[in-house]
Amino acid sequence: MFRRIFQKIIYSPIPLLFFGAAILFLYLILYFFAWDLLRGEIGSLLDRFPLTLNFTTNLSYLLFLFFGLTLIWAVMKSKSAQIKKFYWAIAIAYFFLFSAILLFAPPLTSQDIFWNLFQGRIFTHYNENPYLVAPQNFPQDPFLKNIRVWQDFPMTHGPIWTFIVSIPSFLSPNNLFLQIIIIRIFLLVILGLLIIFLVSFMHKLDPRWSFPTFIALAWHPLLLIETINNAHNDILIGFAAVLGLYLIAKNQYFKGFIILWVGVLIKYVILLLIPLGLIFAFRKYGLKSIIKPAPKIIAGVILLTLIAYLPFGYNIFNFQGLKYQSRLFEYTVLPPAPFLFATLGASIGGINFYDIMPKNRQIPLLSLGSGRAGDYLVAITRFLSIIIFLIFYLWLLFKPFRDERDFFRRGFIIFFAYLLIAPFWFMAWYVVWLIPLAVAGGLGTTFISLGLSIIAFPYPFPTFQIIAISVGFMAMTIFLTKKIISIIDEKGPT
């Protein structure tokens, strides 16, 4: 009797309506909580009020919980081919409601939107080169107060992103809130295009999985907050990665590699995927298929680079922002795996935890002359993690491909391994790079990316408690998924 009632509820739209309403309620709490604390001023919640981190973190766990349950429900419904048109209507309506709240809420977990828009302001309002001049050179500017960190950093992203963030400053030079809305709407459109592309792609592979694909992207808390609310450019990297690899897989090499290079001219990390595309094309179609379009691709890359850098000049000083950023190599926020190894090593070796993780969460890397055991431990951990990543990366590149989805899965694993092991600076929004590739790669990679999202958000300080909660959450979702599907498979809907 109970099982029959449970099956009826599961096969109705009630779970979708309930989970969506719960997520909407949590976003509304964050919206009013942030504006109440900021008292109507534009600012970043966690940068202005760091004591709210625990509250925001706890709410994020609930967001991920309801999102994870919705995704499990969507997978279960798709498995039984029970997705109806009004389910789509409900899911799309919630997506627009979530987006509307985040569109008009103050930045919740990052102040980078202010730094990026100020770089555009330097270019359009002050007619200076943001690659040569830092925000601190304009102390009289009223918008400078919102940049809590990196005031002394010139632009570090690629020229296409610099041009994009210049548009809001050009359209509304004196209204910061309107600038924020403009850049958020642009990124929301990019997210919408990504969703349409991946839903269409998955529908061609297997129509049953198009609805879970929509939920996995349009309801993902980290994806929505970091793209729409915090306005990070990482959604552009994720879209360029999945679209570029898709075109390469379809033997459209010129378009594919040009799309990947567009990503490089936004954020340089996408360079990791270009060797993957080359090796896949060589393995699938042979050397001639690469040599023939190579001149056209090289010419396109050079022309695109020249056009992108044209407004900012062609001298080496355009990369001084990266030189400033290299100071981060002196201190590092360790990614999850090296952090775990370092803390375990400290525990086993009897090293004081705060010798390797001071209160400011920055770990000294180049101060080995001090003779502190923690410094040596961190340096060894960092060196080994980079070596491990390089070996793993080469193995992934040259391992034979099984099929097209394995190609996307390989791109996901490269980004995942990089974020888990190798970066000197680990931020929550970097996980956005791999979410589109994870969804294209299948259900397994989608849930893996969800686990990493929980570890990273809202701030990438993976304490043992957060790791334990994340592992527990993934175990719970796997157990519930198998249990629910097994119940459905026994008798089916009634």
Q: What is the 3-state secondary structure (H, E, C) of the chain?
A: CHHHHHHHHHCCCHHHHHHHHHHHHHHHHHHHHHHHHHCCCCCCHHHHCHHHHHHHHHHHHHHHHHHHHHHHHHHHHHHCCCCCHHHHHHHHHHHHHHHHHHHHCCCCCCCHHHHHHHHHHHHHCCCCCCCCCCHHHCCCCHHHHHCCCCCCCCCCCCHHHHHHHHHHHHHCCCCHHHHHHHHHHHHHHHHHHHHHHHHHHHHHHCHHHHHHHHHHHHCCHHHHHHHHHCCCCHHHHHHHHHHHHHHHHCCCHHHHHHHHHHHHCCCHHHHHHHHHHHHHHHHHHCHHHHHCCHHHHHHHHHHHHHHHHHHHCCCHHHHHHHHHHHHHHHEEECCHHHHHHHHHHHHHHCCCHHHHCCCCCCEECCCHHHCCHHHHHHHHHHHHHHHHHHHHHHHHHHCCCCCHHHHHHHHHHHHHHHHHHCCCECCHHHHHHCHHHHHHHCHHHHHHHHHHHHHHCCCCCCCHHHHHHHHHHHHHHHHHHHHHHHHHHHHCCC
Is 60 exceeded by the pLDDT of residue 66? yes
pLDDT tier, 420 (very low <50, low <70, confident <90, very high otherwise): confident
Q: Which pLDDT value is given to residue 356?
A: 47
Average pLDDT over residues 450-455: 82
220, amino acid identity: H
User: Is the pLDDT higher at 447 or at 2?
Assistant: 447
Work out the mean pLDDT of the chain and round it to a whole number: 82
Token pair recorded at residue 288: 């001639």
List the Cα angle 191/195/197 in 5-degree steps.
115
pLDDT confidence of 366, banded at 50, 70, 90? very low
pLDDT score, position 394? 92
What span, in angstroms and rounded, lies between the C-alpha atoms of 103 and 97?
Answer: 10
Q: Are 358 and 394 in contact (CB under 8 A)?
A: no
Provide the pLDDT confidence category of residue 404 given band limits of 50, 70 and 90.
Answer: confident
Q: pTM, whole model, 2 decimals?
A: 0.85
State mean pLDDT over 91-103. Answer: 97
Q: If pLDDT is split at 50, 70 and 90, which confidence band does 219 have?
A: very high
Question: 101-110, 146-155, 371-380 — which one is most confidently predicted on average?
Answer: 101-110
Most confident range (mean pLDDT) of 236-245, 334-343, 376-385 is 236-245
Give the pLDDT band (50/70/90) at residue 54.
Answer: confident
The pLDDT score that the predictor gives to residue 465 is 44
User: Is residue 398's pLDDT more than 80?
Assistant: yes
Residue 315 has pLDDT above 90, yes or no: no
The full length of the chain comes to 494
Query: 485 vs 382, which has greater pLDDT?
Result: 382
| Chain Cα centroid distance, residue 340 | 21
pLDDT confidence of residue 86:
87
Mean pLDDT of 243-262: 93
What would the mean pLDDT of 308-329 be, rounded to a whole number?
Answer: 68
Four-residue CA torsion sign, 88, 457, 63, 115? negative
